[in-house]
């Protein structure tokens, strides 16, 4: 794991870019026609000599020069084996990708969110779904007209099989940097949640390990092109849970977008939040923090938790409005989080 401030070493980023023009113009366009006066004859002879010398130099210095004419780097995507669970198929039902606002797009499935941010110099992805979700994400990125090879940065909101499973394959295909909170970076590199994760005792909550994860501090921002994404730690569902925030613009209207992690209290059997009052306090502080974030648009790991389907339907009925814009969304999400946590604590109290 690379701690905040450390540089990435020895792992080149792929850049799809445009195919390098090896012909010196469109199919080796003919030289511009010139009248054949003495000056142009001398100029032409000079160019022929230079071309001859140049070709000789290339042949002398690079005997394998023919290999350099191969096509530019393409992202070759090979998924990891599918995660097996009773509800995995339902989680992974495909969903058509769509623009949320400005440079922000939804590229996940019907039940697991992945969000794409298109900067002016590369793509950023938040969450990779399950292993078998990654091919859906790739299809969705390409259906929107983007190239997978332009993916430069992948964030994770929390390291469980349903949001981290596809990251390893996406990283292999693109060379994109993977970044997460300090606690989540540890889990991503191990391929399973950390010991103090409420779901650590769930045996099949595992995922392909991601090598070399960049750990991001609370409040630290990473930039790709003209987009700056900031980490907002919100421990609760997992010790490393983090929200990611950025700004998206349409013409001159720029809005604050929040990808908040879940406030789910799901845990391994036998785990009790009430056994650790400090953890409960931390969870409550995270809920308050999300409620107070600058937030015009809220996205989250579960599309159900933010009513994606209803919003899409509303937008279809009235294309002039964008129901994803809701300055009250983070507050409402936090309120629902408080409800879940208090319900869980009450259940634990009644189980004693
Ligand atoms: Zn989870």
Q: Which CATH architecture has domain 88-350?
A: 4-Layer Sandwich (3.60)
Q: Is the pLDDT of residue 81 over 70?
A: yes
Q: What is the pLDDT of residues 58-71, one digit of tens each?
A: 433 333 433 444 44
Per-residue confidence (pLDDT) for residue 325, from 0 to 100: 98
Q: What distance in angstroms lies between residue 147's CA and the mean position of ligand 1's atoms?
A: 29
What's the 300 CA to ligand 1 centre distance in angstroms?
12
Q: Facing residues of 249 across strands?
A: 254
Q: How many whole angstroms separate alpha carbon 151 and alpha carbon 125?
A: 7
Rounded distance from Cα 323 to ligand 1 centre (Å): 26
What SS3 state is found at 181?
A: strand
Each residue's pLDDT tens digit, 225-245: 999 999 999 999 999 999 999
How many angstroms does the Cα of residue 162 sit away from the middle of ligand 1? 7
pLDDT band at 47 (very low <50, low <70, confident <90, very high): low
In this predicted structure, the answer to whether residue 13 has a pLDDT above a threshold of 90 is no
Does 72 have pLDDT greater than 60? no
Distance 204 CA to ligand 1 centre (A): 12
Could you read off the pLDDT of 151-190 as tens digits, one per residue? Answer: 999 999 999 999 999 999 999 999 999 999 999 999 999 9
Q: How far is the CA of 296 from the centre of ligand 1 (A)?
A: 24
Per-residue pLDDT of 109-161, as tens digits, reads 999 999 999 999 999 999 999 999 999 999 999 999 999 999 999 999 999 99
Percentage of residues in the chain having pLDDT higher than 90 = 78
So what's the pLDDT on residue 156?
Answer: 98
Domain range annotation of the chain: 88-350
User: Do 178 and 154 contact (CB within 8 A), yes or no?
Assistant: yes
Q: What percent of the chain has pLDDT over 70?
A: 80
Q: How far is the CA of 121 from the centre of ligand 1 (A)?
A: 31
Distance 98 CA to ligand 1 centre (A): 24
Which two tokens mark 331?
Answer: 């507050």
pLDDT band for 2, please (50, 70, 90 cuts): confident
**24 pLDDT band (50/70/90 cuts)?**
very low
In the reported structure, the alpha carbon of residue 234 is separated from the centroid of ligand 1 by a whole-number distance in angstroms of 13
Separation of CA 33 and ligand 1 centre (Å): 67
Tokens 């799809």 — which residue? 16
CA of 12 to the centre of ligand 1 (A): 31
Q: Would you say residue 9 has pLDDT above 80?
A: no
Chain-wide mean pLDDT for the chain?
Answer: 86
Residue 197 CA, ligand 1 centroid: distance in Å: 10
Q: What is the pLDDT of residue 75?
A: 79
Cα(237) to centroid of ligand 1, in Å?
Answer: 7
Which residues sit with Cβ closer than 5 angstroms to ligand 1, an ion? 160
Q: What is the pTM of this model?
A: 0.81
- Burial class of residue 306 in the structure, from the number of CB atoms within 10 Å of its CB (0-12 exposed, 13-18 middle, 19+ buried): buried
- Whether the per-residue pLDDT at 78 is higher than 70: the answer is yes
Cα of 138 vs centre of ligand 1, distance in Å, is 22
- Residues 129, 111: Cα–Cα separation, whole Å: 10
Answer with the residue of higher pLDDT: 85 or 36.
85
pLDDT tens for each residue of 294-343: 999 999 999 999 999 999 999 999 999 999 999 999 999 999 999 999 99
pLDDT at position 4: 79
Name the E strands within the chain. 98-101, 104-106, 115-119, 122-126, 151-155, 177-181, 214-216, 221-224, 227-233, 242-250, 253-259, 297-299
> What are the angstrom distances between the C-alpha of 46 and each of 31, 49, 131, 132?
14, 5, 60, 60
Task: Report CA(324)–ligand 1 centroid distance (Å).
Answer: 23
Whether 198 has a pLDDT exceeding 70, the answer reads yes
């Amino acid at each position: 794991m690379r701690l905040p401030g450390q540089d990435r070493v020895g792992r080149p980023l792929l850049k799809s870019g445009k195919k390098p023009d090896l012909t010196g113009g469109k199919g080796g366009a003919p030289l511009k026609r010139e009248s054949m006066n003495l000056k142009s004859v001398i100029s032409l002879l000079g160019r022929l000599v230079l071309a001859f010398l140049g070709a000789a130099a290339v042949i002398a210095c690079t005997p394998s020069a023919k290999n350099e004419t191969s096509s530019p780097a393409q992202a070759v995507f090979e998924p990891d084996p599918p995660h097996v669970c009773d509800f995995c198929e339902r989680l992974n039902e495909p969903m058509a990708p769509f623009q949320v606002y400005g440079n922000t797009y939804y590229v996940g499935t019907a039940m697991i969110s992945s969000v794409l941010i298109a900067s002016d110099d590369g793509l950023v992805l938040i969450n990779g779904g399950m292993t078998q979700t990654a091919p859906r994400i790739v299809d969705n990125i390409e259906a929107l007209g983007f190239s997978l090879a332009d993916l430069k940065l992948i964030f994770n909101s929390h390291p469980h099989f349903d949001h981290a499973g596809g990251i390893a394959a996406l990283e292999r295909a693109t060379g994109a940097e993977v970044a997460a909170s300090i606690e989540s970076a540890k889990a991503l590199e191990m391929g399973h949640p950390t010991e103090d994760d409420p779901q650590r005792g769930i045996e099949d909550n595992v995922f392909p390990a991601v090598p070399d994860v960049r750990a991001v501090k609370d409040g630290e921002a990473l930039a790709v092109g003209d987009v700056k994404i900031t980490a907002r730690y919100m421990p609760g569902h997992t010790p490393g849970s983090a929200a990611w925030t950025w700004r998206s613009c349409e013409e001159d209207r720029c809005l604050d977008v929040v990808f908040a992690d879940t406030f789910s209290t799901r845990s391994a059997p036998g785990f009790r939040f009430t056994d650790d009052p400090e953890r409960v306090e931390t969870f409550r502080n995270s809920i308050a923090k999300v409620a107070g974030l600058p937030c015009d648009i809220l996205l989250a790991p579960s599309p159900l938790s933010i009513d994606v389907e209803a919003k899409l339907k509303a937008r279809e009925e009235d294309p002039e409005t964008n129901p994803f814009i809701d300055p009250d969304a983070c507050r409402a999400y936090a309120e629902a989080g408080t409800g879940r946590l208090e319900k869980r604590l009450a259940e634990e109290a009644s189980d004693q």
